[in-house]
Structure 1
Amino acid sequence: MCAVFALPAPHAHAADSARPAAGTGYRYWSFWQQAQDGSWAYATEGPATQRPGDGDTLGFRFALSEDSQQAAKPRGTTTFAAACEKTEPEDGSKRVAVRIDFGTRADAPESETGAPPAPRTRCALVPEKASAAEVLAKVASPLRYGSGSLLCAIDHYPAKGCGEQAGSDGSFENGDGGDDGQGGGDRGARSDEGSGSDADGGGISSGLGLTAGVAAVAILGLAAFWQARRRRH
C-alpha cells in the first residue's frame, strides 16, 4: 500500500505540439533550462532545488498548456553572452541569464483585459550557491506564490489566479492567494518540488496520482475482505 502511494506521476519533457483546445488545459508559469545549442528543455526539478551554474540561462513562460508535453517554450533568441555582457563577474558570485516570457493574449486569463507584458531578458548576479528561485527573485519582483508553493505571478502577472483551468473562474487547487515578495520557490514552477508533469502540468498529475492511490487502497481492502470471508467458511 505504501508502494502505491509512492508511485511517481507520469513525467515527460516538453515538446513542441498542438496547443490545447479552447476551454481545456491549465494556465501557469513553466520553468526551463537552456542547452548549449540554445534549445530549451523543460526543467527536471523545481527552482528551489535547481542550482544553475555561472553562465547558465533559465527561462520562465506563462502559457495555456494541457501538460508538460504541450508546454510552450520561452520565445525569442536568448544567449547568456548578450544578456550578461554588461554585468561584471565578482568573486563568490555567479551570473545567470533569465528569460521571462509572459505569453500571448490567447494564453492570458479572462481577468487580464490588456496585452501581456513583452518578454524580457535579465542577468542576475547572485551568490554561487543561489537557487534558480533566488535567481528569478533577483531580476523580477514581486513574485506571488500559492499555498502549495506554486509560482502564481511574476511582476504582478497575472494579477490574480493561480494555475486555474481554462474557462474556469475558480483557481487551482493551490489557491490564488500567496505572498508578494522575493520568497524563493517555483510547479510549472513549484518552489519545493521538481518540475515535470507534476510541476508544470499543475494539479493534473497530482489529481491522477491521488485518484489512483485511493482506487488501489479500495481494491486492497476489498481483496482482504473476501479473503477473510473465505477463511471463515
Structure 2
Amino acid sequence: MRTRLHSAAASVTTAVAAAVAAVVLTPAVAAPAQAAGYRYWSFWESQGGGRWAYATQGPATAVPADGDAIGFRFAVSEDANDAARPSGAPDFAGICAGTERRAGTKRVAVVVDFGGPRDAPPGETPPDPPVETGCAQVRKDATSAEALAAVAKPLRYDSAALLCGIAGYPAKGCGEQVAGTQPSAGQARPSGSTSATAPTAASDGEGGGPSVGIVAGGAAVLVLGGAAIWKARRRT
C-alpha cells in the first residue's frame, strides 16, 4: 500500500510540476508593447489663458468668432487625450496685428504645426519652418475649414471629408494607423493623457516582476495538485 501511495503521489506531483512549469514558462499572450495610434491632423481651438483645447467638432462645422484662434497639428497619437497641441501659441493679437476688421467679415488667427520628423510619413519631410501662422479674414459665418483654406492652401480631403493635408503636406496618406506609437520629442501632451506604452501580460506594469495572472495561475495549479494528492491518499 505504501508503494502504491508513493507511486500515486509521485505521479500527481510530477503532473503538478509540469503544469506549474507550463504556466510559468509558456509565453503569455501579451498585449502590444505599445498601443496603436494614427497619423493625422488634429484640430484645436483657443481658450482662456492663451491655451489650446482639443476641438469638440470638426473644422467643417466649427464656426469661430472674430478674435478667435484655431490650430492644426500633424502628429501620431492614440486619441484626443494623447494628441500633441500646436507648438505655436493661440496669439490672436500678434498674428492678426495690422489686419483691420472690415464690415461683414471676421478675423481668425490660424496656427499650423507640421510636426517633427518622427511624425512624418515614410519618405516625407515636414516643411521648414515647422510652424506657420496667418490671419484669415473671412465672412462672418465662415467655418474653421474656410478660415484655414484662406491662409494655408492647398488642402486635401478624403472621400469621407477627413482633412488629410494642409499646404500640400503630407502629399499622400490620410489618418493611417501606425503601430507602436510613441510621443514625439518635445511633444506637449495634455494633462491626464494616457501612456503610449501599455504593460504586457507578462509584466505587472511596474517592470521587472511577473504578472499577478501568472502567480495566481501557478498558485491555483499547486492548490489543485495538493487536493489531488490528498484524494489519492484517501483512496489507498
Question: Alignment identity in percent?
Answer: 56
1:90 aligned residue: 102
Shift of 1:115: 4.0
Show the 5 A alignment for 1:204-219: none
Q: Are the aligned partners of 1:33 and 1:40 in contact in 2 as well (CA < 8 Å)?
A: yes
* Structure showing greater Rg: 2
2:77 aligned residue: 65
- Residue in structure 1 matching 2:152, options 137, 140, 150: 140
Runs of 4+ in structure 1 off by over 4 angstroms are: none
Q: Are the aligned partners of 2:73 and 2:85 in contact in 1 as well (CA < 8 Å)?
A: yes
Structure 1 CA distance for aligned equivalents of residues 134 and 69 of structure 2: 10
Structure 1 CA distance for aligned equivalents of residues 88 and 63 of structure 2: 24
2:48 aligned residue: 36
Aligned pairs, number: 148
Pick closer, same or farther for the CA change 1:160–1:82 going to 2, 3 Å. Answer: same
User: Which blocks of at least 5 consecutive residues in structure 1 are unaligned?
Assistant: 1-20, 169-233
Deviations 1:16-53 (A, max 9, x none): xxxxx878311000100011211110101111111100
What letter corresponds to residue 98 of structure 2 in structure 1? K
Show the 5 A alignment for 1:215-226: none
What letter corresponds to residue 42 of structure 2 in structure 1? S
Deviations 1:114-167 (A, max 9, x none): 344320111000000111111111111000000111000001100110011125
What letter corresponds to residue 35 of structure 1 in structure 2? Q
Structure 2 CA distance for aligned equivalents of residues 30 and 45 of structure 1: 11
1:106 aligned residue: 118
Show the 5 A alignment for 1:40-59: 40-59=52-71
Structural RMSD (CA) = 2.0
Structure 2 CA distance for aligned equivalents of residues 86 and 57 of structure 1: 16
Pick closer, same or farther for the CA change 1:78–1:160 going to 2, 3 Å. Answer: same
2:143 aligned residue: 131
Shift of 1:76: 2.7
TM-score (norm 1): 0.60
Deviations 1:58-105 (A, max 9, x none): 000000001111011000333100000121110010000000000011
2:203 aligned residue: none
1:80 aligned residue: 92
Q: Are the aligned partners of 1:78 and 1:121 in contact in 2 as well (CA < 8 Å)?
A: no
Question: Which one is further off, 62-71 or 76-85?
Answer: 76-85
Structure 2 CA distance for aligned equivalents of residues 128 and 115 of structure 1: 32
